[in-house]
Structure 1
């Protein structure tokens, strides 16, 4: 959602820079911003504070950010091409090759409502059962992006409906993840899914020369040596449930593509037939 469907990532940057300015700190560079995108709040907060070294606690920072979020998040707007893309995907439900869509976001319920409450028409494309938010209790603690769980759960919400209808389930490799953030791309690839990466120009510049690593989910956003024993056990269990889950892709394997915008999306490339 953030930075992919709506311009909330720009709002996050604006909010963060206002807090940094209060303490005479430099603006947030893309080298740090790239590490924050798509991650659950606790992990993002630690990365930010290790860099910013503000003279206030993370809790005090969060209070200041929350106040500014109340101001800026209700101003979020759809990014170029998004309304048309969602309308087109929903329209396939009337064909014999319907595309099923779900939302997988690290944003918690309160922030989701702040950002999307005034955009009901846009988000009606995602029915309530097919919205997986960052505080969904079905996502284990510490199992947010760049781990694959949120995308596998989003797929399960779709497959649950298909099973009820007696229809064939969708396999991970038949899924297409839309992402703007590097940890999110890794999450999609670790879920065994294809990924379209639509990065902010600043993010793309920060990863210049490493695009292949990003598309394969091999930037090291989730380092193996940092995993706890419990995380490794949970990932092995998840991998046993879904073939290929938990492992990144290979550079140049064709499962990842870069788009500069969601305008004029190449539906035919992914076998999507519009009515």
Structure 2
């Protein structure tokens, strides 16, 4: 969701930079930030603590609590990324089964989407957050996508519709941990990374989608998606 559907990644950058500056540290840069994308909050906070050498008595949960106060001001102003809302509406109009798997907690998900409730209602009840998987099982582990698919299939079973296999699924991601999660789950991944993340990644990290795009494809924007190529007519 963050950085793929809405521009909430910009908020995370701002809030973390403000926190780091309070401790006399440099701003959050993309060589660190791309490692945080798609991870559960406590995992991302631990990476920041370790990389910047923050005080040992500052726990990941303390960082989340500090950041949340600032996020309360900024998250309600989030907007959709280019092509994101159009794609969700299109898939819904064509009766494709869609779900949302986010590493955000339920609390932060609600905050980010407070002013976008109608749009996010398109996902129905198939919204899976970090709170819906066991601790330590968020991205890059595959559990969150498998849980999301189970939610979709549970509804399909009740309707007498055939279940969908993970191999039939497309996973849309912006962060590498989520790409790893999608591929590990068995889905094909549409990776839309931030250009600033691509600039600092090792080529081998980008090669996770396969030499011949057998596991996924990289796009510059959701607006570049060739729906016909992926059978989304």
Q: Same fold (TM over 0.5)?
A: yes
Name the CA distance, whole Å, in 2 between partners of 1:201 and 1:212: 12
5+ long unaligned stretches in structure 2: none
Are 1:126 and 2:128 an aligned pair?
no
Are residues 164 and 268 of structure 1, via their aligned partners in 2, closer, same or farther at CA, if it must alter by over 3 Å? same
Name the CA distance, whole Å, in 2 between partners of 1:211 and 1:121: 36
Taking structure 2 as the reference length, what is the TM-score of the superposition?
0.94
Matched positions, count: 231
Whether the 8 Å contact between 2:141 and 2:180 is mirrored in structure 1 is yes
Are 1:100 and 2:94 an aligned pair?
no
5+ long unaligned stretches in structure 1: 94-98, 217-250
User: Deviations along 1:2-45, whole A, 9 cap, x unmatched?
Assistant: 11100001110010011112222111121211111111122212
Are 1:78 and 2:80 an aligned pair?
yes
Within a 5 Å distance, the mapping from 1:206-225 to structure 2 comes to 206-210=200-204, 212-216=206-210
Whether the 8 Å contact between 1:178 and 1:197 is mirrored in structure 2 is yes
Q: 1:261 aligns with which of 209, 221, 225?
A: 221
Within a 5 Å distance, the mapping from 1:39-78 to structure 2 comes to 39-55=39-55, 57-58=58-59, 59-78=61-80
Q: 2:185 aligns with which of 161, 167, 191?
A: 191
Name the CA distance, whole Å, in 1 between partners of 2:24 and 2:134: 38
User: 2:160 maps to which residue?
Assistant: 166
Are 1:24 and 2:18 an aligned pair?
no
Whether the 8 Å contact between 1:212 and 1:252 is mirrored in structure 2 is no
Are residues 152 and 70 of structure 1, via their aligned partners in 2, closer, same or farther at CA, if it must alter by over 3 Å? same
Q: Secondary structure at the match of 1:184?
A: helix
Whether the 8 Å contact between 1:85 and 1:265 is mirrored in structure 2 is no
Q: Secondary structure at the match of 1:46?
A: helix
Taking structure 1 as the reference length, what is the TM-score of the superposition?
0.80
User: 2:140 maps to which residue?
Assistant: 146
Whether the 8 Å contact between 2:191 and 2:217 is mirrored in structure 1 is yes
User: 2:91 maps to which residue?
Assistant: 89
1:208 is displaced (CA, Å) by 4.9
Whether the 8 Å contact between 2:45 and 2:63 is mirrored in structure 1 is no
Q: 1:116 aligns with which of 113, 118, 124?
A: 113
Name the CA distance, whole Å, in 1 between partners of 2:136 and 2:41: 11
User: Deviations along 1:214-261, whole A, 9 cap, x unmatched?
Assistant: 325xxxxxxxxxxxxxxxxxxxxxxxxxxxxxxxxxx43522001111
Name the CA distance, whole Å, in 2 between partners of 1:150 and 1:61: 24
Structure with higher Rg: it is 1
